[in-house]
Amino acid sequence: MRRVVITGMGMITPLGYGVETNWNAILSSRSGLTKIKEFDISDLPCQIAGRIPLSDDRENAVDLDDLLAAKERRKLDDFVSYGIIAANQALADSGWVADDEDKAYRTGVMIGSGIGGLSTIYEASILLNERGPRRISPFFIPSSLINLISGQVSIRHNLKGPNHAVVTACSTGAHAIGDASRLIKYGDADVMVAGGAEAAVCRLGLAGFSALKALSSGYNDTPEKASRPWDNGRDGFVMGEGAGVLVLEEYEHAKARGAKIYAEVKGYGLSGDAYHITAPAADGDGGYRSMSAALRNAELNIDQIDYINAHGTSTPMGDMIELNAVSKLYHGDKSNINMSSTKSATGHLLGAAGAIEAIYSVLAVRDGKLPPTLNLDDPSDDIGDINLVPHEAQDKPVRNALSNSFGFGGTNGSLVFSRME
């Protein structure tokens, strides 16, 4: 079977634009969560989010005009813009250019989103109701469709291979990377541009998740403290926005062109809970089977995993269900587990979460550093001896990292990234 490696990465998140900017922020224990200022939040239970830092008073402030022209962005929902921006960076980082037909035919795109153009749909619906159908833009539909990230990226970079989009809620980014790696393994492509993007922080998005009692509502005055996985004070997740994209490449293909290789996509597993539309099964069986499948695919034992980037959303129920599933993998021996949740810094980027967390996992392998879990001040009972990397990053050699993503509808995905030996 053909091996798949990572040769390029790009991202834009609440911590800023760029892979190294994000990684430095994570390792410095910075939070990207803030009070929402862009729209009315007075009647919303949750008034905070992880937003792209566009204002000068935010650290690592981003000027989107430098990354994608305003004229183009006006025709796109933000989730598409963020996906394009991350893909542009990833491809530039990889050094791969599809500058002839053979390269174009062998290079594909698989970038998904959990929700897609929610804000654009919301605004268009109001416009339709107030001013009628003639006021709807011809760009409305193509700016909102989830597969249009892949479409836009393929058009801009002349990528004529498999063109696909994953929509599996909060597992989208992980599934896109895993599925794209399989397309390479099975010979459908030599290079795939894969990841996820999301921009659902709007009144409708916040109202919808608040109606599910899923969002944090107790930290509106201290947003940086709101995302606190495994802490007794956790009260729900914090929505985030952004995108993460990786360039995946067949190993011999990458080696032949002298490409920089970050890590290998060693394993991929997925499963379904068949339990509930929003809640994970209490026994964590779906997550357990997803992780087990990824380890089987990687041909690794659990004791060879040096770091786990958890789904860890900061919900009262989900955090401990995942932790117990991980503990079951280790046959109850929690002393060898090193696991953290970078959502404590970024919030939950929904369809982009699995992609940005894949990048953080790859960087943990590259640099031998474990990103921290912020706000873990009062750990839940039954944590045991698990190292949840509280507050500050830790130095530790990482040969293999496991990244988990679990989504509404009981859809689970796990990825294993390994150092190239």
- In whole angstroms, what is the distance from residue 388 CA to residue 372 CA? 8
The CA distance from 324 to 334, in Å, is 10
Residues 51 and 177 in one domain: yes
Place of tokens 């955090």: 319
The question of whether 170 is a catalytic residue gets the answer yes
Among residues 256, 276, 308, which one ends one of the domains?
256
Q: Are both 301 and 202 inside the same structural domain?
A: no
Q: Are 41 and 404 in contact (CB under 8 A)?
A: no
| Choice among 164, 175, 253, 348 that is catalytic | 348
Q: What is the pLDDT of residue 134?
A: 96
Of 13, 140, 130, 131, which Cα lies nearest the Cα of 74? 140
Q: What is the pTM of this model?
A: 0.98
Same domain, 243 and 337: no
Q: Per-residue b/e over 346-382, b at no fewer than 16 CB within 10 Å?
A: bbbbbbbbbbbbbbbbbbbbbebbbbbbbbbeebbee
Out of 225, 256, 287, pick the residue that ends a domain: 256
Please tell me whether residues 64 and 174 are part of one structural domain.
Answer: yes
Q: Which of 157, 175, 253, 311 is catalytic?
A: 311
Dihedral, CA atoms, 242, 88, 111, 351, nearest 10 degrees? -10
CATH number of the domain that residue 296 is part of: 3.40.47.10
Question: Is the same domain home to 279 and 373?
Answer: yes
In a shared domain, residues 183 and 282 = no
Q: Which of 195, 221, 256 is where one domain is finished?
A: 256
Query: Do residues 236 and 282 share a domain?
Result: no
Active site residue 311: yes
Whole-number Å distance between alpha carbons of 5 and 56: 37
Per-residue pLDDT of the chain (421 residues; tens, 9 = 90+): 899 999 999 999 999 999 999 999 999 999 999 999 999 999 999 999 999 999 888 989 999 999 999 999 999 999 999 999 999 999 999 999 999 999 999 999 999 999 999 999 999 999 999 999 999 999 999 999 999 999 999 999 999 999 999 999 999 999 999 999 999 999 999 999 999 999 999 999 999 999 999 999 999 999 999 999 999 999 999 999 999 999 999 999 999 999 999 999 999 999 999 999 999 999 999 999 999 999 999 999 999 999 999 999 999 999 999 999 999 999 988 889 999 999 999 999 999 999 999 999 999 999 999 999 999 999 998 898 999 999 999 999 999 999 999 999 999 999 999 999 8
Residue 327 CA to residue 291 CA, distance in Å, equals 12
Distance separating alpha carbons of residues 324 and 332, to the nearest angstrom: 9
Report yes or no on 262 lying in a domain: no
Domain of residue 407, residue span = 268-418
173 Cβ neighbours under 8 A, 6+ residues apart: 112, 195, 196, 244, 349, 351, 352, 353, 354, 355, 356, 357, 358, 405
Active site residue 331: no
If DSSP codes are grouped into helix, strand and coil, which group holds residue 214? coil
Return the pLDDT at 334.
87
Number of domains comprising the chain: 2
Single out the catalytic residue among 170, 175, 202, 253.
170
CB atoms within 10 A of CB 261: 15
In a shared domain, residues 233 and 206 = yes
Whether residue 201 is contained in a domain is answered as yes
Q: What residues does 237 pair with on adjacent strands? A: 215
Largest CA distance in the chain: 64
What is the pLDDT, as a whole number, of residue 397? 98
Query: Do 203 and 298 fall within a single domain?
Result: no
CA–CA separation, 261 and 28 (whole Å): 25
The per-residue b/e assignment along 398-415, b for 16 or more CB within 10 angstroms, e otherwise, is bbbbbbbbbbbbbbbbbb
- What pLDDT shows up at residue 421? 80
pLDDT of residue 57: 81
Q: Are residues 280 and 204 in the same domain?
A: no
- Residue 1's pLDDT is what? 85
